[in-house]
Structure 1
């Protein structure tokens, strides 16, 4: 939050002399930018909006003079400052700056309505499309007015019987607690207990319950549990979450390895451990966008290269063998291509489900942000989940670790079947599109 404030203050300060020459004060400029940003976020103006249209929307929303609003916007668009004008259309030079100003607009609305939550704020807080703006608003409250944040916290405590509304409220409470703490806000032990009670009462992560809900509500419920490390599906040793396959000695993870699970490995190496006897590991060798991934701890980890995935497997092998006698001969590794495909229920000899992907890799899938297990209805015949329409996954082991190119695999559902796609990439690839799943083999 402090970085956002520094960037915005620098951008605004750089135009102070121009504003003075135009008789436009900083307050008017901020009001114009905030109201335009909020209008963009909620869709009352679009990417086709001209400067005149944006100024008119700002003047109406902020109750300022339209000519002053137009001057303020022109100043901030000059030289691509806070705003950018291209082909006569106006926009913010970055969506994060837009969301920051929109959050400040909501911050003002809260202060204009003491004792109640304005409708504009209610809409932003609960709509997944506006999550970034809502989290910025929570961060603003945490850094500027902890009392107002507490009012919001108390107002949103769920009450009564289980319902979608109370599930959403519980998810919001989890975000308030997590984001608020990150920005230095103080919460009492009673606050934490109330969220714990809400999680127990309103959050049901069973597959039966998930199937009765909309996709959006599933995401909210799973994110609420994941943000507080209360996703019980991920409790206990990873081996307990493995699902049997056609081979009696091999089990494959029900889900891809999650951010939370990979974080345990990083914490171990950071404390001075290493990833098995064959390989020392640098504690600062983090996945791509690791800080951002912390927002969804029960999502698949991504941005790891083949060596990182392999190191995790070797570390977990050592950990499991040392923890319990029943795992004394366990080997944790990446699945082979045939093993990965076996999760779909098709035998390795059935080549009709295997396709080489030759299209643009970046456009194949978007970066994963959903928790694991959002779509239990897409599970494989054995019960493995997230094998379609998610991340690509590393496969192995390679017979020659010196081979620079490795395979990644994914699938999509076509005609009720999981059609497997395979692509060969450099083993050093660390992409937000690539994670991994692990195999547990009983090495007799």
Structure 2
């Protein structure tokens, strides 16, 4: 089962991510050359908001992975059916409330151009632009659970198949729109509309065809499983909240305490590293459920072996990329965006170090999540947020984009990767002692 999971999940996921990379390689140069720095910046800011779903789902998605793994191994399919329906229904209500709230706010507000404190690019938007984006954005929320459910079943090949379709449609559509210089807000609306429709398609295929026999033959338990789920999901919610503020907020810090041109350079510099990160995050994404199964069976040696191999793969990949970028980075970027760029070469090594610390930390997080060791992550992320945000602001204001990358590397090393390694070591030692008794 693990082999089947690895082959189907990693294969399709890699294919989807490869298409996503092709999209980036084709679309970013168009956005850079056809739109202003402000328009490019607002596209980056709005499309990165998708990471907030880990906060808006109150941590339910994350806790569902472990719950479904447990109920699946203990053959309690009635409870699986119950938590799926209850969790989805709850998030559907939340998304509808947020949508209605958005409609109300936009109804009583004037057009953005009436507010002098807003950036010019936001002033150019109409309430209808913001309304369309907001409605589609919030309706995606309940469907984000489906992928987490598939992770719990070790059966997310359908998601990655649909993800391939999603990336193709997004790539072709945004390429055509950017080529013809469509309104940047219409491009963002299209981006989220495709995600909503393909997430719905994923749910239809999975629940009405793949899992239909199991779910139809399973009786309801008639238990209200949400209260205990919320108790477990609270820490996941806090982790997601602090993760959002400590990482996603970076783009807002750069544009707010720097400028949109700095944000544009930030996005261009980091894009080549995302090629390597695609492979790394594919590996990390399948670790959680694999660790979960090994943790429940107390297979400590297997856990340690997987961690060692993952760390070696991550380090080797990013080291090779960083050296390549150090020697040829400016030439690669200039050729890619069809503009001459001269970034400081040492910056490529710092960016590589930043991604390395982030990736190593996420390997340890995959294990800690599978072991329900969440409270310590809340502490780590909260410290990262309260210390990291002002630290980054100071470095951005003092040293510009160089300062941001230096500050991020320091924070991710000393407040993220090292503390997570320490917690992983403690947890593994404890699991070994339990398996020996």
TM-score, normalized by the shorter chain, greater than 0.5: no
TM-score, normalization: structure 2? 0.27
Q: Of the two structures, which has the highest relative contact order with CA contacts closer than 8 Å and spacing of 6 or more?
A: 2
Q: Which has the higher strand share?
A: 1
Q: Which has the higher helix share?
A: 2
Say which one has the larger Rg.
Answer: 1
